[in-house]
Amino acid sequence: MGDERTTAVIQHYLDELAGLSGDAPVEPVIEVLLGRAVTRLRIACTKFLFRSYPRLTQPPLNLESDELLGAVVERLLKALRATRPQTVRGFFGLANQHIRWELNDLARRLESQKRVVELRDSGVAAPELPTSAPTVGPALRRILDAIAALPGLDREAFELVRIQGMTHVQAAEVTGVSVKTIQRRLNRSLVLLNASLLDLAPSDQPKGLGNPEE
């Protein structure tokens, strides 16, 4: 199925979901909707996992993209019973949010396990672990915070193109703007990220996260 057709089909099921009456069963529509969106959701899961949380792909978790996808689909099955995004744009915004939450939960658990093992090996009794255990290193945290701090429309363009792997045409279709607008927003996001993260680039590598003219 072509990308334009996929977007149209997803919108069709979002419209159907929004039009259901209060006592109508929503699960069948949600399941079909997620089935139609699964290819794009898998791409988003893979990008988030390997670009932002590669530690989770290593022992002891050895997390794979399809495992993450399964957990995210479960989250969306529950979320879509209460939340009815009106557009494809809103749907993928919701999906991105749940991918981040799932990865953060896994990273917290990994960090907690690591601390328990370290304390056990040291012979010291393990205290109760805080619920706010850090999930990522300082450099990655800075990158994630910088992305989160981008202006909303610029952040959306960055996530759709650089994280979900959509083309400029696909991102424009999802957001309902022109390709040039997507390019302009993406370029702006890269300029802002390059400026705020300039010191993180290795000294022998070009500075920044990408060429703003891409």
Residues 152 and 211 in one domain: yes
Residue 203 has pLDDT above 80, yes or no: no
Distances (CA, A) of 164 to 16, 40, 108: 25, 7, 23
34 — pLDDT class (breaks 50, 70, 90) = very high
Q: Regarding predicted confidence, which is higher, 131 or 31?
A: 31
**Residue 100 reports pLDDT greater than 60:** yes
Last residue in a domain, options 117, 136, 155 = 136
Do the beta carbons of residue 98 and residue 79 sit within 8 Å?
Answer: yes
Burial class (CB in 10 A: 0-12, 13-18, 19+), 152: exposed
Domain end residue (candidates: 136, 165, 184): 136
- Determine the average pLDDT of the residues in 27-34: 93
Q: Does the pLDDT value for residue 208 go beyond 70? A: no
pLDDT over threshold 80, residue 104:
yes
Asked if residue 100 and residue 88 are part of one domain, the reply reads yes
Angle at 96 between CA 192 and CA 36, to 5 degrees: 135
pLDDT (tens digit per residue) in 119-130: 455 554 444 433
What's the predicted TM-score (pTM) here? 0.64
| pLDDT tens for each residue of 135-173 | 456 777 777 788 888 888 998 888 888 877 788 998 888
Q: Which domain holds residue 212?
A: 137-214
